Structure 1
C-alpha cells in the first residue's frame, strides 16, 4: 500500500532561509496543489499535520515558513516581527510568491491548479497573493480578515472563504465589516463564517500556544473550520483521477 511522502524544503524569502514542509500524495501523477500559511508564531506541527491531511486527500501541499525556521513562542518577539510584516503588503507578497514558486516547481504539483489557505499572518499572506492577481482557484483564511490597499481586492480571481471567532478581540466586528465591504465592493465571490464563542487562534491546539488574553483553542469549531476549508477545496479545486 502506497502512502503519502513528506520532506522539508529550503528556499530564500524575506532575507531569510525558509524551511517549509512539503507533503505529497500517493501515486506519480500530477495533483492540484495547496499552500498552507501558519499563524504569526510560525510553522509548527499543526500546519505540518494539515499538509499531511491534504496529501491524504490527494493534494500536493506545502506548509510555508514565516521566520526562517523559527517558532516565535514569546508574544513580544512574535509581534515585533509580524506587525511590520502585516503593515507591508509587498513583503507579505514576497513571502507568498517564494513559497508558491517552490510549490509550483514540484513535479507532482499541477502549477495551473493551486489554492492558498492560511491562519493569522499566513492567512494575510494568502489574501495578498490574491490581491496581487495570482491565478488561484481558492483562498481560505482563518483569523485573518485583513484589508488591503485601495482597489487591489479587484484583482482577486477566485472565491474567498474566511472564518473568525465571534469573541476574537484581534479581529473584532468592525474588522469583519471592513473586510466584507472590501470583498463586496471588489465583486469577489466571498463567504464569512463566524464561529460562536470562539477566540483568536481557536483552530490551534492550546498546547502549542503561549497563553494570552483573547487566544484560545475551541476543539469543535477547529474541526468545523477544517471541514469548511476542505469543502471549499473540494468545490473549487477538486482532486480528479
Structure 2
C-alpha cells in the first residue's frame, strides 16, 4: 500500500495565519503538485482526505486554508466572511498565490507542474489564479462558476474543468451561461459538466450543522465529480512512473 505522509503548514495570507494540510506521496523524487481549495465554510477533513487521496496517486497536494484556521459552521458567519472575499479578486488571488508559493517551495513538488482545484469559494480562488496568469497545468472547480473582471480570463494558460449541480440555486443557469461565455470569449480550453438533480455542494458529505438552503449531498454525483477531477489531472498533469 502506498505510504502517504502529512503535516500542517502555517503561512501568512489575507492578514491571517493560514493553516494548510500538506500530503506527500511515497518516495523521494519530485512529483506534480495540486492545490485544493475548500468550500466557503473553510478547510475540513473533507479536503484533507482529498489531499491524501491525491498523494496516494502520486501528487504532492496542499489543501489550503481560507479563514486562518477557522471553520465557519454558522451560515451567517460564512457569508459575512466569504461575500466580501468573492467580490474582491485581489484578495482571492493573494490567498491563492500564498498557498501556491508554499506548495511550490516544498522540495518534493515540481514547481513547474502544478494544478489548482477547488470547491465553492476555494474554486473561485483557483479560477482567480488562472485569471491572474498563474503558471498552472489545469484548473478544476465544483460549485464555482464565478466570472472575473472583463478580459482577464484571456490570461488563463491551461484547461478549465467545471462541475455544477443542475438544481444548484446558488449557481443557476444564468450563472452557468455567464461563465461559459467568459471562457469561450477568452479562448480557454473549457469543459462544464452539469450533474442532473444535484444541489449546491453536492460533492460534500452531509454535515451536522445548519447549511444554506439549496445545499445537499448527492453521493453518486459526488463520486462521479471526484473521478472527473482525477481524470483532469491525469490528462493535464500525469504522474510519471
TM-score by length of 2: 0.99
Write the distance in 2 (CA, Å) between the matches of 1:209 and 1:185: 40
Contact 2:35/2:115, CA 8 A, preserved across alignment: yes
Contact 2:75/2:211, CA 8 A, preserved across alignment: no
Contact 2:4/2:24, CA 8 A, preserved across alignment: yes
Q: Secondary structure at the match of 2:117?
A: strand
- Residue 99 of structure 1: aligned partner: 99
Report how many residues are paired.
Answer: 241
Q: How does 1:141-180 map to 2 (within 5 A)?
A: 141-180=141-180
Q: Secondary structure at the match of 2:53?
A: helix
Contact 2:2/2:25, CA 8 A, preserved across alignment: no
Query: What is the Cα deviation at residue 209 of structure 1?
Result: 5.2
Q: Secondary structure at the match of 1:217?
A: coil
Query: What is the Cα deviation at residue 103 of structure 1?
Result: 0.1
Query: What is the Cα deviation at residue 213 of structure 1?
Result: 1.3
Q: Secondary structure at the match of 1:43?
A: coil
Query: What is the Cα deviation at residue 211 of structure 1?
Result: 3.3
Query: What is the Cα deviation at residue 208 of structure 1?
Result: 5.3
Any unmatched runs of 5+ in structure 2? none
**CA distance 1:180–1:2, shift in 2 (3 Å):** closer
Query: What is the Cα deviation at residue 207 of structure 1?
Result: 2.2
Contact 2:2/2:56, CA 8 A, preserved across alignment: no
TM-score by length of 1: 0.99
- Residue 218 of structure 1: aligned partner: 218
Contact 1:38/1:47, CA 8 A, preserved across alignment: yes
Deviations 1:34-86 (A, max 9, x none): 00000000000000000000000000000000000000000000000000000
Query: What is the Cα deviation at residue 97 of structure 1?
Result: 0.2
**CA distance 1:170–1:20, shift in 2 (3 Å):** same
**Where do 4+ consecutive residues of structure 1 move more than 2 Å?**
207-212
Write the distance in 2 (CA, Å) between the matches of 1:41 and 1:211: 10
Deviations 1:12-37 (A, max 9, x none): 00000000000000000000000000
Query: What is the Cα deviation at residue 212 of structure 1?
Result: 3.1
Write the distance in 2 (CA, Å) between the matches of 1:6 and 1:229: 21
Query: What is the Cα deviation at residue 124 of structure 1?
Result: 0.1
Query: What is the Cα deviation at residue 205 of structure 1?
Result: 0.5
Write the distance in 2 (CA, Å) between the matches of 1:140 and 1:126: 8
Contact 1:2/1:27, CA 8 A, preserved across alignment: no
Any unmatched runs of 5+ in structure 1? none
Q: How does 1:49-198 map to 2 (within 5 A)?
A: 49-198=49-198
**CA distance 1:57–1:2, shift in 2 (3 Å):** closer
